[in-house]
Every structure is written in structure tokens, then in C-alpha cells.
A and B are shown apart, each in its own frame.
Chain A
């Protein structure tokens, strides 16, 4: 393959047309990077400096009023903060790191953003182009390393490539199915001069992200929906990404179809909406799981039938006719066959479908879900939301209490493990863009920095960070971020002294052989205070309510260290390999 003509890249993608004469200014590549970010509306960038990115940091010094840099304590912290930022604003967020170890410390977050469709532009410094491929100091093949975890990536070696590559990167990150892009930029490209001129990109000839729904498919779907006796909707992340909550609500209220949501679909409609039946999947609610296997028409919207949702595919919704509305064609027919595939943006598809469907009610069918809810309440929920017989606090109790006190209006950012599932189950999500969590990748260490990014981006909203004692220690250093910027993240540390989720599996599937899951923990309150974050410990269920009240009343970041029941298990549970119909309640 012949070497690419780098200047061609601008031609491959087209910039927006403008009649104004082309005005350029001669500036350094590093300054151009900053100007591109500003032109794309980036006001905050999360990052960590180092040798190969120093020219850009120097350029940022001159633009501090327009572009604020947030120095995390670890690059992983920086990228998760950017993810939190993007998750609640639905706008592209940016992060920046140096070459080699700096870039590789971003990798976990890049993979995380890729799996959860989070729009990010990640900038990494690179060694001088003349020494590329020679194992120069802090050289790693960032493009090679991030190839399979980015929507797109590109290495800039010449300053004149900067504007068109940035325009392309921003266009790709937040169109179609959003995702992370990486721009690796050599030090000489940052130092060199170019004639700078910036135009946003509006079209790439090989990339057609806004596919319109096909009329024939919509007609087929409408007919199925109008005739269905037991229709059921699976609401995924794609609805909120498309900002389609309103038309979605109109659609379900007209058709009367009950909905279950995926974990990232939490908050699509308020939890207490009469058609909301709960969460799908491994630790989801009983009703939506078993009813998926009883419905006649299954309408999946903006979701990808992840294995945590479907369980064993051989036993998943075999009876149902499946309508799949999804923007990423490669997700259709990947795991579950779609009888009617609708490849489109959720908002576009639902807007077109709305006038085609009949007003209906499914009272009896909905009552079946409510009957299932009762069973789950008696067997699981009632127990989970009270203290243990030994008088210990339970995680469910904490989440219910904080949900009540915040009226389900807060943003909940979680880490990964049992507490994450409990946070998904027992917080009542009443507003959209409120769930910030690592779903596809299940990245421990995500919670605290993502909560910081969410609160930084949307300071008016209450942000509750729910962590386990394991994951919290993976990015505990970002307490420093919260303290430095006085960003009032409220951290609920649910401490069971175990890597709880792994312990649960060891208990259930490995005959209680607890292999390396018990933690020897530090004094968390002291650590938080050391960082300058106010903290308190609570272990008495009777004092929980007051402790949460104090936490919420505090102006600034706060850590509430809650000692919870040590060997609590999360139920319901679809054991891995089982069908969703075999969901266990105990």
C-alpha cells in the first residue's frame, strides 16, 4: 500500500461551505490545536502534561480564559472525568496526555468510552516524527494500540494537517453512534508553523451516520405494533443519546406499551411512569426479564442486546417478533435476529412512527408486570431496603434513602460491582442524563473521576458518587480534584470490606472459596480529610438518614463512609449461561 498523501485528508472530508474569503493566520501547530478545540466549543479539557505534549501545554497557557485545563492526578482520572462530562451534557468532551505512559494510561478510558458510546476527543503527544519507530524515549505506537478501541484515530506529523484532522475527529466523535477518537500528534507537528484556518466538517464521503429509516420497514413495524397483543419495549442508551426522550414518551403513551430499560437506559422516562417496568438484565427486575420471554412483539430501541441483558441467547425471546431500531448497522442481527430492522437514529425513527401507530391500551398485559413486581418486592426489595438481622446497614437501604432525600433528581455516578447494581436498582431515576456508569467495560475506578466530570460540567445538579471499597481505591487520588476545585461531589462509599461482586460469585459458583477478595482497608475518613474533603463514617442503620442529610447539606465535596453488611448478595440474578427466564430471586 502506498504511503498516504496527508494533505488529501481534507479532501476526503468536506468542510462546511462558506462564502467568506479564506482568512488564515500563521501560527504554531500547538496553538492551532488549542484554537481547534475552542472552535469546537470545548471549554474544559481534562489532562496531564509531559514531554511530548509540552508545546500544546505552553499554548494552553495563553488561552486559559477560553480553555480551562483540569489537571487530574492520573490520566485515567482525566479521561473518566471527560466521560462523566460527556455523559451528562451529551456533548463531546476532550482530554489530553503525553506520549507513552501518558497515552497508555488513557487506554482504559478509551475502551470504556468505545463500549458505552461516549463522544470523546483524546489528544496524545508523540515523539518527533523523525524518530518514530525507533523506540525513542516514551514512544509507543498509540495508533496501533488504540486501533480496536476507537471509532477513529489518526497520527498528525505535519502542522498543516491539524485543522482538518481535528474537524474530522469532532465530526466523527458525536455523529451516528458516538465514540472516542484519538489524535496522536508529534512534537514537531506541534512546534511547526501553519497557515491556520478552521472550518467544521459536515460530511465525510465514506461515512454516513444519519441514516434515515426506510419507509417500508416503518410500515411493517407499525403494523406489528398495531396488532400486537403483548408488545414490549426495550429502551436503550440510544434514546437519550439521540435526545429522543420526548417523542419516546409520546410514543409509548400513545401505544400503551410497557417498557423495560437497559442499564444505560435508566432515566429515559421517570421511574414512576406507569409504563416503566424496571431494568433489564443480569441484576435487573423480575418482571421485564421474564416478560421478555412472553411478549409477542419485542421493540428494541437504541440498544445492542448485550450479553448482560440477554443471558443465554438460545433462551432469549425466541417467541417474539423483533423490531430493532438502531443507528449502528453492525449491531443489527449481531446477537438477536431482527425480523424488522430499522437502521436509524431513534429520534428520527420514533418521530416517523408516531403518526403511524394506533392509540391503544394494554391494561391486562401491564397488570402481569405489576404482579411480577409484587413477587420481587416480597422476595427481594423489602429485604434489601432494610437493615440486616444483625443490625447492619444494607446497600439498598442507603440507595433508597438517598433517592428519597434527593427526590430522584440527582445524577448518580457509580463505580463497578454490587453497589453499582444496587444503585441502578434502588435509586428512582426521575430525570434524563442522570446515570453515569461504566456498563460495557465495567471499569473499576470509573466512579469518582466520572462523578467529578459530571458535576464540573453540570454544577447545578446534585451528583452522588456511589463506590465500593475496592474500586474507590483504584482512583482514590482524584479526591484531590474534588478538593482543589471545591466540586461538591457527594461520595457514598459502600464498604463491605470485600470485592463484593467477585465474592458473590465465589460464594455462589465456587463453593465459597474466597480467593483474594477480602480487603484490608485504610481509614477512609482520614484519607479524605487529608485531601481536604469533609468526611464521616456511619454504621448504625438508625443514624443513616441523618448522615445522608448532613452529606447533602454540606457545601462542597463530602465522603460518607458507610459500613454495610459484609456478605450481601445482589438478587435477582440471571446466572451466567442461564436464560433470562431462569432468573433467580434468592
Chain B
């Protein structure tokens, strides 16, 4: 059964590693729905967060292929209920629509969005949330009139306690053996 999985990869900060990781997906014709790279809480360790929709056997295979890369420390995969995750969306709308009554303001409030920037001809709205939530706001703004829309990739943190540290301890124990 196909499901949305979030893969979290910890690695060295190496040029070219992103390509190596992406190749693991493209070789199998798997669409990357979202990809975010950032630092991690460990010094010098980088982090990739990838979202894909595949079956369980495939996600396990992908994780092993990623871990096979020499400069990857460890990769984990999660179902949506095992993580806390967010995405950020920005919406550019004409300033004029705000002037036509308070409908837009109500929409912004209802969606817990906020206004980032106000210019003479456009306003930028920001909304943080799950994809379904940023999408819901998009649908409403589309009806009113919108210039531009963009959404970030997913950032996610697992609910389990520090899986990476646990892994590092295991490795240390093994090396010491």
C-alpha cells in the first residue's frame, strides 16, 4: 500500500552528496514530493528531509540505498503520525482586494495566517502548517485573486527520542567490541 513517508537523512556536509541521494530516487522513477536540507543539532552533521509516497518495502529499500552512501551517517523513515512536521507557504495578492471590504482579512484570520509585507500594489501573506492547510488557504485566495504562490518543503522532527544519538551509541559499542 502506498503511503506518505518522511525520510530523514543525517550526513557529512559534502559537495555532491545531494545528487547521490537524489539519484537513489530518480533511478527508481520515484517522485520526490519535497526536499529540504539544513544543518542538524550536531555540529558538522547535515540533514536532509525527503517526502515520498511509496509502499513500505520500497521505503525500506530507499533508506538502505541512502545509507549505503559512504558519507551518510544514518537515515530514518517515518509515517506521518510519528513526526511533527510543518511547511511554510507564501501568497502574493493584490493590495486592492483588501480595500474591498474585510472578507480577505477574515480569511487570513480564519486560517491563522499572517501578513508579512504590504506594498502599494501587493501584499504577502505567510501561512505555516500541513500541506492540506496551506492548500486550503490557496483555494480561497484563488477565488479572490492571487499573483503568486510558493510552498516550502517539509521540515520534520520525530516524536521518538533522539534516534540518531541512540544509533551513534550502538556504533560506538560495536567499534569498541
Contacts and interface: CB of A to CB of B under 8 A. Distances in A.
B70 A4 contact: no
A282 B71 CA distance: 36
Contacts of B65: 330
Interface in A324-366: 328-330, 332-334
11 contacts: A1-B18, A4-B13, A8-B13, A144-B19, A147-B19, A152-B71, A207-B71, A208-B174, A211-B174, A329-B67, A330-B61
Given A12-B12, A147-B19, A1 B37 contact: yes
Interface string A492-535: 00000000000000000000000000000000000000000000
Given A155-B16, A333-B57, 11 more contacts: A2-B13, A4-B13, A4-B15, A12-B12, A152-B70, A172-B70, A206-B11, A206-B70, A206-B72, A328-B68, A332-B64
Nearest to A148: B23
B19 to A, nearest CB: 6
A147 B15 CA distance: 12
A148 B70 CA distance: 13
B16 A147 contact: yes
Interface string B62-83: 0011011011110000000000
Contacts of B73: 205-206
Given A207-B70, A208-B171, A330-B61, A4 B14 contact: yes
Interface in A193-217: 203-208, 211-212
A330 B68 CA distance: 7
B165 interface: no
Nearest 10 pairs of A and B residues by beta carbon: A330-B64, A206-B73, A152-B70, A330-B68, A4-B15, A207-B70, A148-B23, A1-B37, A330-B65, A12-B12
Contacts of A332: 64
Nearest to B38: A1
**Contact residues on A (Cβ < 8 Å of other chain), bracket:** 20 to 34
Interface of A: 1-4, 8, 11-12, 143-144, 147-148, 151-153, 155, 172, 203-208, 211-212, 328-330, 332-334
Contacts of A152: 70-71
A172 B16 CA distance: 17
B12 A3 contact: no
A115 to B, nearest CB: 14
A463 to B, nearest CB: 33
Contacts of A8: 13, 44
A170 B69 CA distance: 16
Interface in B26-43: 27, 37
Interface residues of B, number: 29
B71 A206 contact: yes
Interface of B: 11-16, 18-20, 23, 27, 37, 44, 46, 57, 60-61, 64-65, 67-68, 70-73, 171, 174-175, 177
A475 to B, nearest CB: 28
Contacts of A4: 13-15
A212 to B, nearest CB: 6
Contact of A212 (B19, B20, B60, B174): B174
A204 to B, nearest CB: 7
B97 to A, nearest CB: 38
A524 B95 CA distance: 82
A330 to B, nearest CB: 4
B44 A1 contact: no
A3 B16 CA distance: 10
Contacts of A208: 171, 174-175
Contacts of B70: 151-152, 172, 204, 206-207
A206 B16 contact: no
From A1, A8, A148, name the one whose CB has the most chain B CB atoms within 10 angstroms: A1
B137 to A, nearest CB: 30
A330 B67 contact: yes
Nearest to B66: A330
From B16, B70, B71, name the one whose CB has the most chain A CB atoms within 10 angstroms: B70
Nearest to A11: B44
Contact of B16 (A12, A143, A211, A212): A143
A568 B18 CA distance: 49
Nearest to B44: A8
Contacts of B177: 212
B50 to A, nearest CB: 14
Contacts of B37: 1
Nearest to B19: A147
Contacts of B16: 143-144, 147, 153, 155
Contacts of B46: 1
A207 B61 CA distance: 18
A1 B72 contact: no
A328 B20 CA distance: 18
Contacts of A143: 16
Contact of B15 (A3, A206, A212, A329): A3
B175 to A, nearest CB: 8
A449 to B, nearest CB: 28
Nearest to B18: A1
A334 B44 contact: no
Contacts of B61: 330, 333-334
